[in-house]
């Protein structure tokens, strides 16, 4: 086990080598591919996150799982190795804290599978097989079972992932600096977007094939930010509302929010 890799992945993606402190409920991921067990999970997680309906639980669960998927994408590119994330080895933890509920992950047995580094072609084959296996055997059973029991259509569940991926890849490109690693990062991500077939995800199209839309930043008129690909259903939680970057928010409401925010910011500077 490479301790440096373990600490890096754990700190960035909340994928831990042991059950995290503060865990109130722990689930073996394999159990949640059973609809009855997933309904029980929804019944426990919903009140902890103050969900008003099961669809919000599904959207939040998918958002948390996107961190697990990002850990795989990150490891493939940065380390040419990946943690052994499979349904039997993966545990999902609910950790209430400060009025919300964190979802974290741990592995019963932390092992890293390394890429064959003899040549680039063999490495690409390994990458392709690794990503397909992860989405087909781990992500799809969890997300599609959640869609089935929650009533949130599968495309909306899977649709929580692309915005977070695009945002994180953008940050990594700036942080990495090394043009060779940046190019590999982009190539690996493009494979996920353009070459993994829809049937791997168990839905009608690859969920990462989306059009990225941008809107004016809330604070800075000279900056743009990404609009979310799908609504995160925050408005379906207690005290929630549509986010500024929500695709469901009407443009006139977005303009009004910018105006109010900037007026308050200007007053605060006086």
Residues 80-130: pLDDT tens digits?
999 999 999 999 999 998 889 999 999 999 999 999 877 888 999 999 999
* pLDDT on residue 107: 97
* pLDDT on residue 41: 99
Residue 148 has pLDDT above 80, yes or no: yes
* pLDDT on residue 269: 81
- The per-residue pLDDT for range 181-237, each reduced to its tens digit, is 999 999 999 999 999 999 999 999 999 999 999 999 999 999 999 999 999 999 999
Question: What is 3-210's CATH number?
Answer: 1.10.510
Residue 65: C-alpha distances to residues 37, 223, 252, 256, 270 (Å): 17, 29, 33, 33, 43
Cα(132)–Cα(197) distance, rounded to whole angstroms?
9
* pLDDT on residue 200: 98
Cα(249)–Cα(209) distance, rounded to whole angstroms?
22
Cα(239)–Cα(237) distance, rounded to whole angstroms?
6
Neighbours of 187 (CB within 10 A): 12
* pLDDT on residue 120: 86
Q: Which two tokens stand for residue 38?
A: 């997933």
Residue 42 has pLDDT above 70, yes or no: yes
* pLDDT on residue 2: 80
Cα dihedral 140/156/169/132 (nearest 10): 20
Q: Could you state, in order of their start, the residue ranges of all structural domains in the chain? A: 3-210, 211-270
| Rounded mean pLDDT, 152-165 | 97
Residue 1 has pLDDT above 70, yes or no: no
* pLDDT on residue 188: 97
Q: Tokens 């990462």 map to which residue?
A: 208
**Contact present, 218 and 244 (Cβ < 8 Å):** yes
Residue 270 has pLDDT above 90, yes or no: no
Angle between helices 35-48 and 54-79 (to 10 degrees): 100
Residue 24 has pLDDT above 70, yes or no: yes
Q: Provide, rounded to the nearest whole percent, the portion of the chain with pLDDT above 90.
A: 91
HSE-CB of 111 using CA atoms within 13 angstroms: 6
């Amino acid at each position: 086990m490479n301790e440096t890799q373990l600490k890096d992945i754990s700190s960035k993606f909340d994928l831990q080598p042991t059950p995290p402190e503060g865990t109130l409920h722990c689930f073996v991921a394999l159990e949640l591919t059973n609809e009855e067990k997933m309904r029980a999970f929804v019944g426990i997680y919903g009140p902890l996150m103050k969900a008003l309906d099961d669809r919000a639980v599904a959207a939040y669960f998918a958002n948390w799982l996107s961190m697990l998927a990002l850990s795989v994408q990150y490891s493939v590119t940065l380390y040419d190795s990946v943690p052994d994330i499979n349904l039997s080895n993966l545990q999902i933890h609910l950790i209430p804290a400060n009025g919300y509920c964190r979802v974290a992950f741990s592995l019963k047995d932390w092992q890293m599978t390394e890429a064959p580094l003899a040549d680039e072609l063999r490495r690409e084959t390994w990458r392709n097989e690794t990503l397909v296996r992860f989405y087909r055997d781990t992500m799809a059973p969890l997300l599609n079972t959640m869609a089935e029991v929650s009533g949130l259509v599968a495309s909306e569940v899977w649709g929580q992932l692309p915005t977070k991926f695009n945002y994180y890849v953008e940050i990594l490109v700036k942080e990495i600096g090394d043009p060779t690693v940046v190019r590999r990062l982009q190539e690996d991500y493009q494979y996920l977007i353009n070459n993994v077939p829809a049937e791997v995800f168990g839905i009608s199209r690859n969920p990462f094939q989306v059009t990225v839309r941008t809107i004016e930043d809330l604070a800075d008129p000279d900056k743009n930010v990404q609009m979310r690909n799908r609504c995160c259903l925050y408005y379906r939680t207690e005290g929630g509302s549509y986010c500024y970057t929500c695709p469901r928010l009407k443009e006139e409401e977005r303009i009004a929010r910018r105006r109010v925010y900037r007026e308050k910011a200007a007053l605060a500077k006086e």
